[in-house]
Amino acid sequence: RKEVEQDPGPFNVPEGATVAFNCTYSNSASQSFFWYRQDCRKEPKLLMSVYSSGNEDGRFTAQLNRASQYISLLIRDSKLSDSATYLCVVYLYNQGGKLIFGQGTELSVKP
């Protein structure tokens, strides 16, 4: 089983739609969680951290469920510019700061 698993998609949605991505992780000692965004043929960039209480950044909401070992990202009122691949990332503090990426979920927002 992969350490971090995501539905690869693609998710094809119209502008203005709400879309949600889920990610599961296998290491229960995982310390911290993040969502990254990667545009086509570019490097990944940090989108947002994921806090236990859930957190919001504009149209983006991240949730963490430690008991079920999953993380989610919700995008409301999606824009054309949201089209990208979204990568779930797990930080393993007990392995010296190892950062493990999921395979990514591709999102395509259409007019």
Partner 1 sequence: DAGVIQSPRHEVTEMGQEVTLRCKPISGHNSLFWYRQTMMRGLELLIYFNNNVPIDDSGMPEDRFSAKMPNASFSTLKIQPSEPRDSAVYFCASNLGDRGLLGELFFGEGSRLTVL
**Binding positions for partner 1, rule: CB under 8 A:** 31-34, 42-46, 49, 87, 89, 91, 93, 95-104
Q: Give whichever of 46 and 80 is closer to partner 1, judged by the CB atom.
A: 46
Q: How far is CA 24 from CA 7, 70, 88, 109, in A?
A: 10, 4, 9, 24
Least Å distance between CB 68 and partner 1?
20
Q: Which is nearer to partner 1, 32 or 69 (CB)?
A: 32
Cβ closest to partner 1, residue 97 vs residue 111: 97
Nearer to partner 1, 84 or 104 (CB): 104
CB of 74 to partner 1, least distance (A): 19
